[in-house]
Amino acid sequence: MASITDSLTRLGDLSVPFTPVSVTGWGDAELLASQGRIAEVRRRLDAVAATVAGEIAHRSRRELGHAGLAQSEGLRTPEELIAKVSGTSTRDARTLMKTAELLPARELAPDAAPVPRWQRLIGDAVAAATISVEAAELIRTRLIAAEGVDENALATAAGRLLAEASGLTIEQLAIRAGRVRDELDLAGIAEREQELRAKRFLRVSPQLDGMTRVTGLLDPESAAIVVPILDAATSPRRGGPRFVNPDAVQRVEDIMRDERSTEQLALDTLVELVRIGSRVDDGKLLGDRKPAVRILVTRTDLDARVGAAFFEGQSEAVSVQTAERFICATGAIPILFDDDGKALNLGREHRLFSEKQRTAMAARDGGCLMCGRPPSWCEAHHIDHWDEHDGRTDIDSGVLLCRFCHLTVHNNRWRIRRDGGDYLLEKPDPNGVLRHTSLPSRSPALSRLLAG
Ligand SMILES: [Zn+2]
Ligand SMILES: [Zn+2]
């Protein structure tokens, strides 16, 4: 069986057909040592690749115009040519070219500025194959932001990072290089912060299939606000801290049991926070006309409980059950159409439980009346249908249900009835006979009061 040394030695000889090595019989130590040696061979190759890329760039330099190498090959820039020839990205090609500028043996254009000493140190390390071109480019771009700092201090910093780089992953090196740069240039921190902050954005783009894609970049301050909130919502999944407090234990169990993926949980948390936030906005962020979610449905579909409903502004249909649940939870009145497409009403918000009423319900119910999930997970279910009983909004006509149980109730056309101070779930048994099961409060405080 070929050893790693033989394989690596033969790699560069393209006259010998390439044969992959079989490693299944190797011991752990041999495997790890091989990975290290492969990385070193790769760094040597990188150094050669950077030298070649540098020469391609030199022969494609702007003043040569159409006679330049890249343009005579029909490509606009040397990075496009390098990427095409090597089958890599133009970003990787640019990294090679940038690194080439630091290499000791480089052909300097006559008018080129000399390479600063700290950058030459980086070039020397690449040429000696002690660091990868990726690490070299990272150190260069991090430290260049501190330029204007004393040349000797920069050279010392570069030397330190080059010495540390071999023991670090690229991610660790990025953090470390940022620290070293900030120590050198404390005064530049504010400016770099501004640069990062200027790059922040959020873009919302509707997709052809009815989904909406959200893309964005958060600057450090924005990320510090948003990320821990999403982490807190999903932390039990990611092996977060375990608690002894029974409520916390229950919450962790609920989250683990939840059939949603961690990413779905993060999105639902974000949507919920936006919804709650828009409710408490006093007009400063969103103006005095609060955006209301409106649902559009025909009277016929709603009465038949089959058909299609639409959220205003969205092109994809949702089920009538979703419309019902939404109407129930938000207190919205749907915009109804008759069969000729005439709007029957204007769908203003109505019957919405106030924050105070929700707080009272949370104290009374202690969570989802059906499964016990905490109040923060719950929607208020109106036990009266939206067009029955003049739409009473006192807290007796609402109970807390988590989204899942709430959907279950509406999808199965179950009802919740009030019986004195208690609530009963009314659903048909397998023979179609209506049965009532009691839905006791989940509130520990309330059960103590009643017991006492
Ligand atoms: Zn529930
Ligand atoms: Zn409901």
Digit-coded pLDDT (tens) for 323-333: 888 888 876 66
Average pLDDT of the segment spanning 278-282: 76
Helix (H, G, I), strand (E, B) or coil at 212: strand
Distance from C-alpha of 108 to C-alpha of 125, rounded to nearest angstrom: 19
Q: How far is the CA of 400 from the centre of ligand 1 (A)?
A: 8
* 49/11: higher pLDDT: 49
Cα(257) to centroid(ligand 1), Å: 12
Which ligand has the nearest atom to the CA of 374?
A: 1
Tell how far the Cα of 443 is from the centroid of ligand 1, in angstroms: 14
User: What is the pLDDT, as a whole number, of residue 90?
Assistant: 93
Stated length of the chain? 452
Q: Is the pLDDT of residue 175 over 80?
A: yes
* pTM of the predicted structure, to 2 decimals: 0.65
Task: Give percent of the chain above pLDDT 70.
Answer: 85
What integer pLDDT is reported at residue 342 of this predicted model? 67
Q: What is the pLDDT of residues 116-160, one digit of tens each?
A: 999 999 999 999 999 999 999 999 999 998 877 889 999 999 999
Tell how strand 378-382 and strand 398-402 pair up. antiparallel
CA–centroid distance, 237 to ligand 1, in Å, is: 20
Residue 399, phi then psi, degrees to nearest 5: -130, 155
**pLDDT grade for 354, boundaries at 50, 70 and 90:** confident
pLDDT at res. 204: 94
Q: Is the Cβ–Cβ distance between 118 and 155 less than 8 Å?
A: yes
CA–centroid distance, 374 to ligand 2, in Å, is: 17
Alpha carbons 67 and 89: distance in angstroms, whole number: 24
Number of neighbouring beta carbons within 10 Å of residue 266: 18
The one-letter amino acid at 254: D
C-beta of residue 416 within 8 angstroms of C-beta of residue 399: yes
| Identity at 202, one-letter amino acid code | L
Q: What is the mean pLDDT of the chain?
A: 85
Instruction: Report which bound ligand comes closest to the CA of 402.
Output: 1
380, 353 Cβ separation under 8 angstroms: yes
Ligand sitting nearest the alpha carbon of 377? 1
pLDDT at position 2:
62
Lowest mean pLDDT among 133-137, 163-167, 392-396: 392-396
End-to-end CA distance of the chain: 81
- Distance between Cα 446 and ligand 1 center (Å): 19
Task: Return the DSSP state at 335.
Answer: E
CB distance 309 to 301 below 8 Å: yes
pLDDT for 158 equals: 96
Q: How far apart are CA 420 and CA 28, in angstroms?
A: 71
User: Under a CB-based contact definition with an 8 Å cutoff, are residues 122 and 136 in contact?
Assistant: yes
Among 448, 394, 440, which Cα is nearest to 421's? 440
Ligand 1 centroid–CA 301 distance in Å is 27
367 alpha carbon, closest ligand: 1
3-state percent breakdown (helix, strand, coil) of the chain, nearest 5:
55, 10, 35
Radius of gyration of the CA atoms of the chain, in A = 33
Residue 247 has pLDDT above 90, yes or no: no
Pick 208 or 336 by higher pLDDT: 208
Among the bound ligands, the one closest to the CA of 324: 2
Spacing, Cα 251 to ligand 2 middle (Å): 23
**Nearest-5° Cα angle at 164, 162 to 168:** 115
Question: Do 1 and 31 touch, CB atoms closer than 8 A?
Answer: no
User: What's the pLDDT score for residue 388?
Assistant: 58
Contacts of 287 (CB under 8 A, 6+ apart): none
Q: From the CB of residue 160, how many other CB atoms can be counted at a distance below 10 Å?
A: 14
Residue 403: left (phi > 0), alpha (psi -120 to 50), or beta? alpha
Q: What does the pLDDT average to over 189-211?
A: 93
Number of other CB atoms surrounding residue 400 within 10 Å: 26
Q: How far apart are CA 324 and CA 275, in angstroms?
A: 18
Give the separation between CA 413 and CA 305, rounded to whole angstroms: 10
| Burial of residue 139 (number of CB atoms within 10 Å: 0-12, 13-18, 19+) | buried
Ligand nearest to the CA of 323: 2
Average pLDDT, integer, range 20-35: 90
Q: What is the pLDDT of residue 242?
A: 57
Residues 6+ apart with CB under 8 A from 318: 308, 309, 310, 311
pLDDT the model gives residue 47: 94
Separation of alpha carbons 422 and 441, rounded Å: 8
214, β-bridge pairs: 204
> 424 C-alpha vs ligand 1 centroid, how far in Å?
15
* CA of 280 relative to ligand 1 center, distance in Å: 25
What pLDDT is stored for residue 412 in this prediction?
A: 86
* Nearest in space to 328 (alpha carbons), one of 272, 263, 266, 410: 410
Q: Which residues are CB-neighbours of 178 under 8 A, at least 6 positions away?
A: 142
> For 279, how many CA atoms within 13 A lie in the half-sphere containing its CB?
14
Ligand 1 centre distance from Cα of residue 307 (Å): 26
The segment with the largest mean pLDDT, out of 45-49, 328-332, 418-422, is 45-49
Counting ligands in written order, the one closest to the CA of 416 is 2
SS3 assignment, position 322: helix
Ligand 1 centre distance from Cα of residue 308 (Å): 26
Q: Tell me how far the alpha carbon of residue 234 lies from the centroid of ligand 1, in angstroms.
A: 18
241 band by pLDDT with thresholds 50, 70 and 90: low
- With bands split at pLDDT 50, 70 and 90, how would you rate the model's confidence at 67? very high
Cα–ligand 1 centroid distance for 369 (angstroms): 7
Distance, C-alpha 358 to centroid of its chain = 31
Query: What's the rounded Cα separation, in Å, for the pair 185 and 118?
Result: 15
- The predicted pLDDT at position 211 comes to 95
Ligand located closest to 442 CA? 1
Q: What confidence score (pLDDT) does residue 82 get?
A: 96
Count Cβ atoms below 10 Å from residue 373 Cβ, excluding itself: 23
The model's pLDDT over 306-319, given as tens digits with 9 standing for 90+, comes to 888 888 888 899 99
